[in-house]
Structure 1
Amino acid sequence: MTADERPAIEFRNVDIVFGDKQAEALRLIDAGKTRDEILKATDSVLGAAGVNLSVRRGEICVLMGLSGSGKSTILRAVNRLNEVARGEVHVLHRDRPVDVARCDERVLRDIRTHTVSMVFQQFALLPWRTVRQNAGLGLELQGLSVSERNRIVDEKLAMVGLTKWADKYAHELSGGMQQRVGLARAFATDADILLMDEPFSALDPLIRAKLQDELLELQQSIRKTILFVSHDLDEAMKLGNRIAIMQDGRIVQAGQPEDILLSPATPYVAEFVRHMNPLNVLRGSAVMRPVRAIKREAGALLLDEAGGVRLEVDASDRPVSVHIEGHGGTLGHADGDEGQVDHPCDVIVAPVDLKLRAAIALKRQTNHPILLVDDLGRLAGLCDDEEIYRGLLQRSEPRA
């Protein structure tokens, strides 16, 4: 397995217990006892139990759940701010996996200095330091010269829009700007892994939404591995490539946002997603009728029940032409975000990750069938009225 294929972070059967009777608490975990039962029997707090989770390189994985569910406990095991009672926490460090829970102090210090960086909820800025000095703290600990630190820091401050504030102090900045300093400080060390512990929860909703958008935009260029803690489902669904939902120290479901919304694994998860707006989460790939399920006749795909809309494809299932009731039609192309087609047409071709909101906008404007294609232009499936309605209606049905 190459470094690119290895997980950036991997939890293997991780148990975390706070208290003096860890051995007894672990025995009770193995016996399937609840957090409350363990607390009553041992006076120890169950932080995490049986946690297994892999985080791929370059993805944003969101840990979410109610307060006390274990989100921050797990996050802080990645840089060993929390000690693991049992299990392994592997971090890809210098192109090889290292068990942070068991490595020596020298390796741990190297991981904290170069591989893993952290953004805190309450900013954690030093009030006697300027913005530039705060952002350069990690580089200072690495031993870089002042000139080299300032060069890197100024680049990161520009990235987060704080160039003009470099010589100001924390109390002169708004909450949103202070959190940007925290982001710049995390980016400055060029760590591959960012731990973000509810970094936007202390901000007002408008600033919070803006920073979420900015983080997603930055991620397009920096491609860091981000483990993000949130108790807000909208935030988790917006940011996460994958989401792990925790309850009482255990992960009860992990997967892509669409999977969790359409197929909640437990009543607890179903309750979480019940009031979630599917238009903000679902994409065409989650609701489409796959190409294998589309009826074919004489080499053409039939896009409607009556067979009046026939799609011709090449040998690789790339759309070539369309016929409507025997007459030649036209194919138009739409992007995945805005729900706009490039020219008048009879059938729309769109990316497979077309947002459901955009699909509905296209249907409202044109009422044409929507073909979803992959990155190579091959037909992946059909997203028409039936598929859209089915996706909306199924979003809160728990699996049996």
Structure 2
Amino acid sequence: MSDDPEATIAVDRLWKVFGPRAQRVPGSPLADLSAAELREKAGCLVALRDISFEVARNEVFVVMGLSGSGKSTLVRCLTRLVEPTSGEVRIDGEPVGAMSAKRLRDLRRHRVAMVFQHFGLLPHRRVLDNVAYGLEIQGAGRAERHRRAAEMLELVGLTGHERQLPEQLSGGMQQRVGLARALATDPEVLLFDEPFSALDPLIRRDMQAEVRRLHAEVGKTMLFITHDLAEALTLGDRIAVLRDGELVQVGTPEQLVGAPADDYVADFVRDVPRADVLTLRWIVRPPTAGEEHEDTPLPHDTVIRDAVSRVLTAGRPIPVTEDGRSIGVVDAERLLPALLGHRRQVPV
């Protein structure tokens, strides 16, 4: 994998094997066995198999897969809540596996925060003290941690609820408290392990919008675990698809929908409205000799759905440009198949 100096998280050939003498599996003939054969021969289960990827600074990186694909194991390996069997995780270039116990505590308390599916709020503490808990662990004084907690509650829209107990809040409000608590320590990285999967659909959409808003306001590198494709497409700058512990594809939402790596990913994205995700670069064609076209071009990153009115009412093809240069033209004949959901593989 590349050593990108801008990568906040770098995962290199990561394995997690459960079972006796798990360390003998990576790099050995046992690694080539099917899951059933490995259980029979070695009594082991491979949860993560040779995983490599990088997460850029301030990127929202989504890991998506079905139940049992290894998503939660992966996110826990990043801070050694689950100890990897082999491979390396680096955060800001520092190998997590080489950290002392003290350094690892510092990583978890100051640099990385987690938001879980089950909110993990302290039921006997009021909202303000729940949000301030991480700061208390860090040794911050009462006045300082309450000031910071109040700021975070305002950020997530919960001003006025400081004195309530968690049980007095709705599920969505409790998850906002969890978000505020994670943000209060000003971590470099936020790890989300299916945080909204227990919420009602409407509240879930609200929380997804909240994450997008918070990311726009405070930045942060975010790694988000989900089994829900719509959630992944909504949140992710890039998406990694896991299947049975293996990394199937990493790409932008547009790349997954427009050029799925295999039938597994294609089945995942089959019902996604392509015109809502793909941009004009996927449907441009070269102009034909002597062909007249519109004078005003469209940018290549225009979402197809947003270009419908212009393309369908134009009497001629419309140029598509990237960085000021023409990359082709688009017309109704190229646009309509995308609107109707017809698949056409286009090189990325």
The structure-2 alpha-carbon separation of the partners of 1:175 and 1:231, relative to structure 1 and needing over 3 Å to count, comes to: same
Query: In structure 2, how many angstroms separate the alpha carbons of the residues matched to 1:99 and 1:14?
Result: 12
| Residue in structure 2 matched with residue 225 of structure 1 by the alignment | 221
1:78-227 equivalences in 2 (<5 Å): 78-92=78-92, 97-227=93-223
Preserved contact between residue 24 and residue 42 of structure 1 (Cα < 8 Å):
no
Whether the 8 Å CA contact 1:64–1:229 is kept in 2: the answer is yes
The aligned residue for residue 74 of structure 1 is 74
Provide Cα deviations, 1:11-56, integer angstroms capped at 9, x if missing partner: 1000011222203433557641222322222222211010011111
From 254, 260, 265, the equivalent of 1:264 is 260
What's the TM-score, normalizing by structure 1? Answer: 0.79
Change (3 A) 1:368 1:5: farther
Distance 2:17 2:4 in 1: 33
CA distance in 1, matches of 2:151, 2:328: 44
- Indicate the SS of the match to 2:239: strand
Q: What amino acid sits opposite 1:240 in the alignment?
A: G
Cα deviation per residue 1:151-196 (whole Å; 9 max; x = unaligned)?
A: 2111111111001111111111111111111111111111111100
Instruction: Determine the structure 1 residue equivalent to 2:306.
Output: 358
Q: Verify the 8 A CA contact 1:153 1:188 in the aligned structure 2.
A: yes
TM-score by length of 2: 0.90
Matched, 1:9 2:9: yes
Moved more, 74-83 or 18-27: 18-27
| Paired positions, count | 344
Displacement, 1:360?
A: 2.0
Counterparts of 2:102 and 2:180 in 1: how far apart (Å)?
26
- In the superposition, relative to structure 1, how do residues 381 and 218 fare at CA in structure 2: closer, same or farther (>3 Å)? farther
> AA paired with 1:59?
E
Given the alignment of the two structures, is residue 234 of structure 1 paired with residue 230 of structure 2, yes or no? yes
Task: State the distance in 1 between where 2:128 and 2:29 align.
Answer: 47
User: Can you give the 5+ residue segments of structure 2 that lack an aligned partner in the other structure?
Assistant: none
Task: State the alpha-carbon separation in 2 of the partners of residues 396 and 229 from structure 1.
Answer: 29
Task: Give the CA deviation at 1:280.
Answer: 3.3
Distance in 1 of aligned mates of 2:107 and 2:58? 18
Are 2:35 and 1:18 aligned?
A: no
After superposition, what is the alpha-carbon deviation per residue over 1:313-345, rounded to whole angstroms, capped at 9, x for unaligned? xxxxxxxxx3xxxxxxxxxxxxxxxxxxxxxxx
- Helix, strand or coil at the partner of 1:114: helix
Distance 2:346 2:320 in 1: 27
How many Å apart are 1:4 and its aligned residue? 8.8
User: Displacement of 1:110 after TM fit?
Assistant: 1.2
The 5-angstrom pairing of residues 319-338 of structure 1 reads 322=295
Contact 1:259-1:286 within 8 A present in 2 as well: no
- Displacement of 1:366: 5.8
CA contact (8 A) 2:293 2:316 kept: no
Which residue in 2 is equivalent to 1:385? Answer: 332
CA RMSD for the aligned pairs? 2.5
Give the secondary structure class of the aligned counterpart of 1:124: coil
Q: Structure 1: which 5+ residue stretches go unaligned?
A: 296-304, 311-321, 323-346
Shift of 1:150: 1.4
Counterpart-to-counterpart distance in 1, 2:205 and 2:214: 14
Structure 1's consecutive aligned runs of 4 or more residues displaced over 6 angstroms after TM superposition are: none
Kept in 2: contact 1:262–1:391 (CA 8 A): no
Contact 2:19–2:44 (CA under 8 A) maintained in structure 1: yes
Identity over aligned pairs, percent: 40
The amino acid across from 1:273 in the alignment is V
Distance in 2 between residues matched to 1:198 and 1:367, nearest whole Å: 48
* One-letter amino acid of the counterpart of residue 147, structure 1: A
Partner of 1:339: none
* CA–CA distance in structure 1, aligned partners of residues 327 and 207 of structure 2: 34
Choose 1 or 2 for highest CA Rg.
1
1:395 Cα deviation from its structure 2 partner: 3.9
Helix, strand or coil at the partner of 1:163: coil
| Contact kept in structure 2, 1:57 and 1:224, CA below 8 Å | yes
| Distance in 2 (alpha carbons) for counterparts of 1:30 and 1:123 | 39
Q: What per-residue deviation string (whole Å, max 9, x for no partner) do you get for residues 213-271 of structure 1? A: 12112211211111101101111111111111011101011111111111111111111
* 1:255 matched to 2:251: yes
